[in-house]
Amino acid sequence: MKAVVVVPTYNEAAALPSLLDAVLESGADVDVLVVDDASPDGTGRFADEYASRHPRVSVLHRAGKMGLGSAYRDGFRLALERGADAVIEMDADHSHNPKYLGAFLARLETDADVVIGSRYVDGVRVENWPFRRLLLSRFANYYVNFATGMPSREISDATSGYRAYRREVIEAIDLARVRASGYAFQIEMAYRAWRLGFRVREIPITFEEHYLTSSKISRGIIVEAVWTTPLLRLTAPRGERRDVRGAEVRTGRPLG
C-alpha cells in the first residue's frame, strides 16, 4: 500500500523540521506531502530545502491562505494523481504523534476504509488541554452525532484531524462536492464516508498539546461547524455498506 501523509502548513517553520524528522523515522512506509499556503514565516522555503534532501518528501505551494479543507482537497488530489493507495491527514504542530502511523495503516490493511484517530476511545486522551477546550471538543462531538445520526459507538471523534482514508473512499466522496473548510471539513468527510457505507473505524490516540501548538479554532470555524453539520443529511448521498473492493455488504451489519 502506497501511503502519503498530507500536512497542511501556515507559519509552521518552528514545528515542521522536527515533525518531518519524526515521520520519516517512525518506521511507517509513507511519503509526505507538505501543502503550504504561502506562509509569511518561510515554512514553504524550508519545506523545499528539506524535500531536496529527502526524496520521500514533496511540497505543494498555494497562492495564499485558503482554508484547511481546501488544503486537504488539493493535497488529496495530488496524492491520488501520484498513485497513492491511502492518504493520511496530520497537523504540523506535533499534536499528532507519528508513532500512530503504523496503526493507521494496519487497520486500513485489515478491516477499515477510514481510520480516525480518536481522543475519546476508552476514556479521554488529551495532554495539556484547558478544561474549557476539552468541554468544547466533547460538546462538538455530541452535537455532531446528534445532528447527523452517526452513532457515537462507531464514531466518537468526528472532529479529529488525524485520520486515514483509502483512495476508494476519497474517489467515491468526490472532493468537488465537499464544501466545508475548518473543522467542519473533518465532520463532512467522516459523514460522507459513513453514509456511503464505507467501514469507518477508530483507533485510540493521545492528542498532545505542545508549546509549538497554537489554537486554530476561531469563531468563524465554530459557526461553520454549527450551521453546516445539520445540512449534511440533505446533501450527502447514501450508499450500501460495502468493503473496500466495492462489494456490497448486508446493510445493518455491525461495524464494531
What value does the mean pLDDT of the chain take? 86
Across 186-207, average pLDDT: 95
Helix (H) or strand (E) holding 184, with range, is helix 183-195
Q: How far apart are CA 240 and CA 252, in angstroms?
A: 9
Contact 157, 101 (CB under 8 A): no
Sign of the torsion formed by the C-alpha atoms of 244, 180, 92 and 123? negative
DSSP class of 248? B
* Length of the chain in terms of residues written: 256
How confident is the model at residue 136, as a pLDDT?
Answer: 84
The domains found in the chain, sorted by start residue, are: 3-235 (3.90.550.10)
Helix (H) or strand (E) holding 167, with range, is helix 167-173
Q: How far apart are CA 42 and CA 49, in angstroms?
A: 11
Residue 147 DSSP SS3: helix
Across 138-143, average pLDDT: 88
Whole-model pTM: value is 0.85
Which of 21-25, 105-109, 129-133 is least confident? 129-133
Contact 105, 164 (CB under 8 A): yes
DSSP class of 168? H
How confident is the model at residue 245, as a pLDDT?
Answer: 42
Of these ranges, 28-37, 175-184, 212-221, the one predicted with the greatest mean pLDDT is 28-37
Per DSSP, the residues of 47-90 read: HHHHHHH-TTEEEEE-SS---HHHHHHHHHHHHHHTT-SEEEE-
How confident is the model at residue 226, as a pLDDT?
Answer: 54
Across 234-239, average pLDDT: 58
Letter for the amino acid at 11?
N
